Amino acid sequence: MKRAISIISRVLLSLLFIFGYFIYPDMVQAKKANNIVELKEQLAELQAQKQKQASAKAQTQSEINAKKNSIYKAYQEKENIKGEVEDAKNKISESEESISKAKVDFDNVLKYYQVSSKNNNYLEYVTDASSTTELIMRIKAVERVTDYYKNKITTLKNLIVEKQNLQVELNEKDNQLSSAITTYSNALDELNDQMEAIDEIAEDIDSQIRAQEETIKYYKSICESETQALSTCTNDPQSFGWRKPTVKGRVSSLFGYRTFDNAFHPGIDISGNAEGTPEYASAAGRVAAITHRSNCGGNMVYLHVTVNGQKYTLVYAHMLEIKVKLNQIVTTDTVLGTVGGYSTSTHYSKSGYDRCAYGAHLHYGISTGWYHVDYHTWSSFISHMIDPMKTGFPSKGVYWYKR
């Protein structure tokens, strides 16, 4: 039930947001930041929301305090009324006692006047007078006494009526206070639920602020400036200079247009190694893609590397085995896989072999920039190819024996 009320409060708060009182924190996440400057703007927005939540909280708290105060006052008033009712009751019983007492007194007084045991005391008393003057005096005296008690009893009876009316009035007041307390308590429950929802949102905002601060800290450590596109920032290892992809080898086919097959050769072929010879990353970076093309290329590994601050995509083709995983960080000591490259009928069924390789060799290509070499980026990857010979290989046919 509490939960249901909380959800309703949240809905109400969301409505308040629509009317501009709150900005619901999820709104910030909807937008994607492109650089650190934008991340910082989002953080500022979150902090502004936190402020708004804090003032909403303060506002709700003061409303809660006011309601509690009203309830306290109503209870105090009820306590006072209880005392007044008690007083009225006491007055009534006191008056009732006084009336009984007055009646007894009156009887006693009449008895005092009694001169015979006959029934009509008063008459005996009066007719017993010895003279007219005494008779008149006796009549007057009895009248006065009678009036006195009559008045006294009337006054007391009036007082009882007055106090009974007061009691009715006080009970009414008490009922009003009780219903006021119920109203205040309901309002207080609502405010408490509202407070709970505000606290939950505030917690959400706090956790978003912490996450945003972490994100900013992270990107500050990997971006070169606050305006650099986040997608281009990296903390992958970098190289300063190139190493060769194999310990030993010779270039057997050059990069570029080849006359013998009348085609563009997108890389160099490195021969002089037996099948299964390790192939290394020639620069530090990350495994960007692993593919297999049986038509031409076989098992292929693509690397995203950074050399002297410049990003490159490398391709290794015709591999016998692949020993790295997608997104794996690589250094120049990482073995990516091994040399393959036969496409003879006996080897062809082996995984990794393709139709355009004749003899064990590594096809090795370099492109400037990072491409995921998928359907969309393939042509960009090819058009940005550079001649790997520029990265420090001896002339075609000349062996090297260290990387």
Between 285 and 298, name the residue whose CB sits nearer to Zn ion: 298
Nearest to 331 by CA among 401, 279, 282, 372: 282
User: CB of 267: closest distance to Zn ion in angstroms?
Assistant: 5
| Contact region with Zn ion (CB under 5 A), list: 14-22, 71-79, 292-300, 356-364 | 356-364
Q: Are 255 and 385 in contact (CB under 8 A)?
A: yes
Between 244 and 363, name the residue whose CB sits nearer to Zn ion: 363
Q: Can residue 250 be called a binding residue for Zn ion (CB under 5 A)?
A: no
Between 269 and 279, name the residue whose CB sits nearer to Zn ion: 269
Q: Please report the DSSP string for 43-80 in residue order.
A: HHHHHHHHHHHHHHHHHHHHHHHHHHHHHHHHHHHHHH
| Contact region with Zn ion (CB under 5 A), list: 7-15, 148-156, 242-250, 363-371 | 363-371
| Contact region with Zn ion (CB under 5 A), list: 32-40, 94-102, 150-158, 359-367 | 359-367
Q: Can residue 363 be called a binding residue for Zn ion (CB under 5 A)?
A: yes
State how far the Cα of 386 lies from the Cα of 366, in Å rounded to an integer: 6
Produce one character per residue of 143-178: b if its CB has 16 or more CB atoms within 10 Å, e if not.
Answer: eebeeebeebbeebeebbeebeebbeebeebbeebe
Of these, 25, 35, 269, 277, which contacts Zn ion (CB under 5 A)?
269
Between the alpha carbon of residue 28 and those of residues 47, 180, 207, 230, the distances in Å are 11, 42, 13, 18
User: CB of 286: closest distance to Zn ion in angstroms?
Assistant: 24
Q: Are 326 and 302 in contact (CB under 8 A)?
A: no
User: CB of 326: closest distance to Zn ion in angstroms?
Assistant: 23
State how far the Cα of 362 lies from the Cα of 174, in Å rounded to an integer: 97
User: CB of 274: closest distance to Zn ion in angstroms?
Assistant: 18
| Contact region with Zn ion (CB under 5 A), list: 21-29, 77-85, 122-130, 360-368 | 360-368
DSSP state of 330: E
Between 10 and 363, name the residue whose CB sits nearer to Zn ion: 363
User: Which stretches of the chain bind Zn ion, using CB under 5 A?
Assistant: 269, 363
